[in-house]
Structure 1
């Protein structure tokens, strides 16, 4: 069992399912190749509304806890009913909540529009609220007079808000201070907007960098190597100039790719009927991290176990509902 800290959002998800949206193909836009459209000013029926829990920090914490690890989450919540429910859910999975900060803003809330007429793919509207007030001070987390970190691994997901850049710098300074800590990074939108050159000092200090294809395109779109940039293998090559360790690009139903020691690995996905696509990337991240950095499995097996965890989440509504335990993921 490893001591793991996850950093990122914890929130309430409200998922609306409808088949009344129209899918628009926009292949000319590399970073937005499909659009979900509704008539302006119209009223649409919602078939179901499900209330679940999500957020990158919470999903990873729950996922790794279910896989037998001792996990804690560093996030910021409001002083409201939602915060109480979010903490109650985390404790249900034995995730430590003593590092949670509080804010006068409301706790984060996400509205997820699930397109039943397009494989239940989703579009998310998120009100980040208190999560944007997260202010990380690792001196408060370190054990007094200890030369060792109390964490074996840190999993960093999306950061946002006025302290995001300082938080990012503080997290990687902690990694520098405690070189034995493994760092997994799944960057958020604000980090991707910074661009490869600005992220370079942090990228070289990750143990594993996990990103989906759309995010990789956003990050690499200004690269000089634009030919065939829509190909995950080309994206891996571009990123490898900045990242010394393992790089993973997930590509939805097409599977997942990894780059390590100048070699590309690939694992296919399986076709299933999806009830939900929310949290699938986090499920992959938890499964892969457990397999590769905790259990020490090889890259190919770790990719497959990450995919297995994400496929299980696809069969349930909610980002945490289908997460597998150790026995299930190895079955």
Structure 2
């Protein structure tokens, strides 16, 4: 009889194309992956992978098994979700996925309050710019900024929270230096993923430099602006509460999108998820003025 764990390893190698990729994904050693694949091949009496210099390629038998393995995976996830959905116990793990900036600059104090209110819930904060897969239960709840409601996956359960706005910010000392003439031009501080200065951010009273500073993530961008490297578009919940920053004069306030709280299927019925969803919705209402950019830095 085929072991579902062996099938998981088979799928990880098939999708990653190598033992290394599968081991990283499953957080196990290379030898464990090789042993599991060998065990599966022994049970099936067939070789499922061909080892090539470029990686692992499915054999003809492996191709036939792949479709069945994916059906097994779907059934397993459905079973886990249904069982989790019937769990009305407050004690246990709750995994929340959200962008790093939102975790560190907006909600961390709220998370602390939630943990004080529910000491038996083990809160796992998954702060990453990558979108997690709620269907495979990489997380129980996801907070995302959505730009177009129609892009939300139909199979997810969504709860609309609040709009989030942004503006262009600069360090107060750098603005003073620019106004005095000591800094004639100010650099843009951009993330690699931005692909340039957003059109809406260009209209302001600062003379920009043609040589931007580029960073890899939002946190580095915030620190760079705070340090006086230049100006950058930031969320108002970041810029308006930082005493070292000020909005660039003449700049526009821009809606970045809308926060949504997302869950999947039966997961939303668990008591832990319901408690967290209601709590966060209330906290977003409390943050409404900040998110709307109405706490203007002066």
TM-score tier after normalising by the smaller chain length: under 0.3
Structure having the higher helix fraction is 2
Question: What's the TM-score once normalised by structure 2's chain length?
Answer: 0.24
TM-score for the superposition, normalised by structure 1: 0.22
Considering Cα pairs closer than 8 Å and 6+ residues apart, tell me whether 1 or 2 has the greater RCO. Answer: 2
- Larger Rg over CA atoms: 2
